[in-house]
Amino acid sequence: MEQDRIADLEVLLGFTFRDKSYLLNALSHSSIKSEEVPSNERMEFLGDAVLGLILSEALYRRFPNEDEGVLTRIKSHAVSRATLERIAAAMALDRFILVGKGVRKRAIPSSLLGNMFEALVGAIYLDSGLAAVRKFILRHLQVVVNEIVEDRAEKNYKSTLQQYCQREQGTVPVYKVMHESGSAHSRTFEVIAKMHSKEWGRAKAGSKKEAEQGAARAALIHLKAIDEKESDSVRGAGTLLPTPGLNDVPAKKKTRRGGRGRRRPSAEKTEAGAEAVEAPKAETKKKTRRSRGRKKSTAQTTETPSSPPTPAPANGEGAPRRRRRRRRRAGSGAKGSDSAVSQ
């Protein structure tokens, strides 16, 4: 690295290294790692611990009347990955990071800058001790701490969700990475938040920690534990994604027929329905009358005709019968007269 760039970075940091190798090590990404050039991952590990120690001491002295819960909340906000990435981006540290050609072709991910800030903390501590690194840390984090105290900083949704779940559901949330995409130096993480084996929130971001914050925020919104909307833009909480089973709302709610829960139709619908029902009924009555009339006429036409009267016998027919009747009458009359004479 050129001496001019090193001098510019030291001016930006407000600190001059006695041993420049610490600075070069803090700037070296794993993409250029070799036997001669180690990566900054070990120094990042050390810087994370030093950062937590210095800030914990500063909060302990500044807020003597606050309990450990409040101090923990402030610290977790101040040293969060999103906060460090924001500080590194504001300092334009991407101009000084040492990466391989494959990474340099693209925009430097913000997660790499946050890691490099922690590595620089470790480098300053190794070069000059606690006093020097304390001055560096407080100079850059004092504004963030003030924002947190005034409740204007990024919220720690994971901590809020954990407290809510422990209080209301007797459990703790579990975060799971569902999908990773992108190259090794520019990853995108999709994370879900689950409670009691049920998914309550989903989000994606350039770092796993930020995606977890987004998933926690989505879960809090679905649980109605915070007064926020999914459409609200929140820094450090990734991008919220639809949660299966929670965001899927049926187009029309089905109601049971009869019994409880049946909706009463409005007056307009009732009148319209009555008219629609009466019209077919009237038409049906007309058709019934017509069919009855047709059946009656058909029955009259198809009824069996009565037997015609027996025609009178022709001349001469029945004459012997009349003569026999006359003879019987005459015979009965003669017998009557004979009986009267004998008396």
DSSP track, 252-284 = S----SSSTTPPPPPHHHHHHHHHHHHHHHHHH
Distance of CA 141 to the CA centre of its chain: 37
What residue type is 235 in one-letter code? Answer: R
Q: Which helix (H) or strand (E) holds 58?
A: helix 41-62
Catalytic residue among 118, 127, 190, 210: 118
Given the residues 48, 94, 147, 230, the one annotated as active site = 48
Tokens 């490099």 — which residue? 116
| DSSP H stretches of helix in 176-311 | 208-222, 267-302
Nearest to 124 by CA among 39, 45, 16, 226: 16
Given a contact cutoff of 8 angstroms between Cβ atoms, the answer to whether 160 and 173 are in contact is: no
- Asked if 118 is an active-site residue, the reply is yes
Question: Which among 192, 187, 225 is positioned nearest to 207, based on CA atoms?
Answer: 187
* Catalytic machinery residues: 48, 118
